[in-house]
Chain A
């Protein structure tokens, strides 16, 4: 395998006292597209949250008392030692399952801050704005959406499209799309398919979390895993 960008070994995650991921191993290579399917409650989204760095998802050590412990590395570096924003800066992007509304903070403002957090420089704001408008068109949003507050008055589909806009803008090394299909119509799914294919060529690795077979038809996936009771297994 090409060198892994993400390497997870023996991951245990506990949320509010309940174990949601147990003894999970996963390797994702640079530019690889991996899908994780599974029923609701299987722990798929918890995996996304844990990789993202949500502090409510506590990484615990394996219970069997062995010397080994939960280990997650990103480009060889210890991911568990990084805070949420450090992980984002390092190149991880999570498209949220339920993106939150942030009144008064414009999409433009959010985009600019996220872009600069990644280390990219903006020379001319007007050029950045034009680029943003282009990307908005590509994902099926309008210029008007850019001036609105983040997700303020957005439909479910528009919220997902805003996640896609950010994905295209930030160009992460690893993108985790958590149920990106929910809320999107056939047209939207096609956009996701195109986007993943484009970005994969440029080196972005993907973890697609979904239980929608239609999505897997639009995207060419390198490996499919199934998640059950917090454990991963390869799908046949």
Chain B
């Protein structure tokens, strides 16, 4: 099996283009020019920039006061263009990714792989068989070039640039990300995979992903994110738009282990049509601050949305995450399962919203939030907002916050496990319902990262 790691160690210094720090109309124009984009995309970018400059930073959520937006590189290009074979990628960059096990993983298990380094996707490939079925998996830049009409139809329609300040920023300076198109009736059996790495200090990474699943299709998309250990802040402000058409199924899995200097502010939204289903699986281990609330707009009858998430907040971290399920049609269903752990002074907040509109008769929603606080310095909050505007709908919501169960600890210790071994096992068990939904090598890596985090935290 592939040896896969989302570590914080390796880094490199070679870039083919490094923009000056700070944001300006000139820079936005330069990005568009370097990418040779159509006119309408440049217009969109500039409109988004204007919107971004007008909007205030959100007053709720985590503390963003220490993030200096002027002290960031908004565009960093490591190489001239993406490579098709791993051997052609410059060694300095290849090394960084080899540490994460990328090429082996591809050979072993995945249908297609994309690797993004700071602002650009450097490596992309897709199994030939899949390409024959009409499946498209490209970097967003290539997607725009090769499938301009499709991109134009959906880009910014699911997450408009006016949605929130960070979405406006992303819409102005986006670079990289994935474009996935699955034709009608096609079921992609193996996961499509993307790796995102912020390599430079004070870098901003603004990937933009668009996934279109036509009627009756199905696909699993998995992304892993990491960044090396730096002391100054970086920003990851991504936007993910997904459209799941009738009877289609999409699962989008993220394992995020950004270093503790990264601000991870992400907007992810899916529109789900009749009889279709969208599943978000979200694991947040790293970053200094994460604000991320994947959402599903259940627009068609019997649409289903679900969100399974893990958040681990250690010293100096604030994981402010959750989900939004918007029921707009009858018989729609949603499920949110959130598991969080706070330790060493970390803070984990669940912020969720379930909205069942008056038209969503017979809608059903279930929310479960469980949180473990391992020590007296840490904290955990739950802020769920449930608006049931149809008398025919049902909602079940439960949340539980506590420390590790003493009886369970006693039992395991009476079987010879040390305090930390017992705690580790119990924590793994706590996260198990979600870990079992991850692809094998991610589950293994997550278990390893969680175990590392837990060393020394209970006792």
Contacts and interface: CB of A to CB of B under 8 A. Distances in A.
Nearest to B406: A56
B430 A104 contact: yes
B397 to A, nearest CB: 19
Interface string B433-459: 100000000000000000000000000
A15 to B, nearest CB: 14
A53 B414 contact: yes
A113 B413 CA distance: 11
Given A84-B410, A100-B407, A113-B421, A105 B415 contact: no
A89 B416 contact: yes
A140 interface: no
A104 B431 contact: yes
Interface residues of B, number: 23
A235 to B, nearest CB: 28
A102 B414 contact: no
A110 B414 contact: no
How many interface residues does chain A have, given as a range? Answer: 20 to 34
B410 A54 contact: yes
A149 interface: yes
A83 B410 CA distance: 11
A54 B410 CA distance: 7
A111 to B, nearest CB: 9
A118 B411 CA distance: 15
B57 interface: no
B417 A102 contact: no
B408 interface: yes
B418 to A, nearest CB: 5
B21 interface: no
A175 to B, nearest CB: 12
A110 B412 contact: yes
Contacts of B428: 104-105, 109
A137 to B, nearest CB: 22
Given A99-B411, A102-B411, A85 B416 contact: yes
Interface in A21-46: none
A88 interface: yes
A109 B414 contact: no
Contact of A117 (B411, B415, B419, B432): B415
A115 to B, nearest CB: 9
A72 interface: no
25 contacts: A52-B414, A53-B414, A84-B410, A84-B413, A84-B414, A85-B418, A88-B413, A88-B416, A89-B416, A100-B407, A100-B411, A102-B408, A102-B425, A102-B429, A104-B430, A104-B432, A105-B425, A105-B426, A113-B412, A113-B416, A113-B421, A114-B415, A117-B415, A117-B416, A170-B415
